Amino acid sequence: MRHELILGFSFTSNDEARQVLDKVLSTAGFLPQRFEIKAADVDNALACEDHGSSIRYILFNPSWIRGLTAGASNNEYWTRVGILAHEVGHHALNHYLEGDESNPRFELEADEFAGAIMAKMGATVRQAQSAFGLPGMCSQEGGGDHPKCADRIAAVAKGWHTFYDNLAPGTPIPSHPHVIACQEKGKWCPDAGYAFVRRDPNFTARWLPGKKHPSAAHVIAGDKEGAWSTEPGYSFANNVPNDLTVRWQPGKAIASHPHVVACKEEGKLCTEPGYVWVNQSNPWANNLDVKPAP
């Protein structure tokens, strides 16, 4: 789709669109400064170039974007991402060098590209497909420049699976710190020691002190981000970096509960000499509160 850059009216860039585009470009491995996104007098969205410079453009009709995302329910964010990832796909695949007109093959290739990019950005396959079955993007019958809705949705899924199905569990999302591929295919999880602040759309993860390590027994997230600690009564067995092996340490003081120590029997806590539990029958009911012995 090679087009001369001819604009029928003055336009300005949309900040939100710029931010989303930068995420897409970075994920795709492009330099954001080589691309411009502008509101323009176009039917919907358009990938084009200015023959007089090396800048590549993505033009969009704000009214069309608003109308499209209005029907996107909870997937408005991923709908916008999908539209821009699709247009970046036209640039990445050099469609404007192959012909002057859009055609169904070009559209499906750009859809597949968008699916892979959104997988890298952390979208589920349904989120990645959210834009491509909407009435403003396609029709059930197809026709003209654009394929049928079913074909577009399938192309996005193909691109998504091309990226995601090759990921081993535990693989980080490139664009999201401390977020990894879960054991269950098609889902993302917080890395060890982290928890999601919000899952959608940003997958922001934060360090959560006290959270149990997923594979190291009796190891919990410490107060300092990235540092591991042990459950009460345990100590690290070896003073070796990244070795999370622990051992039970009888007599070890429990920092959060004065006068409480680890018993000889692993997993049980006792009072220091001269103290007794406030609740003799069930000390846990009173958060390990103790009192001087009578």
Question: Measured in whole angstroms, how far is the alpha carbon of residue 3 from the centre of its chain?
Answer: 34
Highest-pLDDT range among 51-55, 242-246, 288-292: 242-246
d(CA 191, CA 132): 31
Q: What is the pLDDT of residue 157?
A: 94
Q: Which residue has the higher pLDDT, 3 or 70?
A: 70
Three-state secondary structure call for residue 30: coil
Q: What is the pLDDT of residue 103?
A: 83
Please give the model's pTM, rounded to 2 decimal places. Answer: 0.62
With a cut of 60, say whether residue 2 has pLDDT above it.
Answer: no
CB 195 within 8 A of CB 205: yes
d(CA 209, CA 206): 10
With a cut of 50, say whether residue 8 has pLDDT above it.
Answer: no
With a cut of 70, say whether residue 266 has pLDDT above it.
Answer: yes
Highest-pLDDT range among 13-17, 43-47, 221-225, 241-245: 221-225
With a cut of 50, say whether residue 235 has pLDDT above it.
Answer: yes
The pLDDT tens digits for 178-213 are 989 888 877 788 999 999 986 555 678 999 999 999
DSSP summary character for residue 197: E
Give the residue ranges of DSSP H helices in 14-75.
15-28, 62-70
Q: What is the pLDDT of residue 86?
A: 93
Question: Over the chain, what is the mean pLDDT?
Answer: 83
